């Protein structure tokens, strides 16, 4: 378990610098669209700190897949749950999402669909790479035999 925490800290530390950059881009886009006039110091600080924390956790939680004894499906569920909670808390803290049933439901549906699509793409890429590797191994065996 110590290895998980070290890996989590390493991955999170590498990722958390990206968060404020993403936030700055988001603020510029909102400002250019006329959706954002000015931010208070408190809003900027909460935004920077929450996005940095989100990026740290989002980068670090990938270490869950390195735990040997944890089957893939529970790892995916833990990963998805942690990301969902972190994104939800970040959106609520920054007032990007209203605390009512419909916005929370829409957010949840979009998150789940996005997460499934991303995992579907990852699955197809891994399946394709596995197929190519197996074909190469089969070719090598035939050449040796």
For 91-109, b/e burial (b = at least 16 CB within 10 A) is bbbbeebeeeeeeeeebee
**3-state SS assignment for residue 100:** coil
pLDDT tens, position by position, 3-61? 787 877 777 777 777 778 888 888 888 888 887 778 788 888 888 889 888 988 988 89
pLDDT tens, position by position, 86-117? 999 999 999 888 899 999 999 999 999 999 99
Look up the pTM and report it: 0.76
Helices 41-60, 72-93: crossing angle, 10 deg rounding: 180
């Amino acid at each position: 378990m110590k290895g998980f925490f070290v890996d989590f800290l390493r991955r999170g530390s590498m990722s958390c610098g990206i968060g404020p950059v993403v936030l700055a881009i988001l603020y510029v886009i909102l400002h250019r669209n006329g959706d954002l006039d000015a931010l208070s110091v408190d809003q900027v600080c909460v935004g920077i700190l929450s996005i940095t924390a989100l990026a740290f956790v989002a980068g670090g939680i990938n270490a869950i897949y390195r735990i040997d004894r944890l089957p893939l499906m529970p790892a995916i569920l833990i990963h998805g749950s942690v990301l969902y909670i972190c994104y939800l808390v970040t959106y609520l803290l920054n007032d990007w999402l209203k605390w009512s049933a419909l916005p929370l439901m829409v957010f949840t549906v979009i998150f789940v669909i996005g997460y499934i699509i991303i995992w579907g793409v990852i699955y197809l890429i891994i399946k394709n790479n596995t197929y190519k590797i197996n074909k190469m191994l089969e070719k090598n065996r035939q050449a040796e035999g």
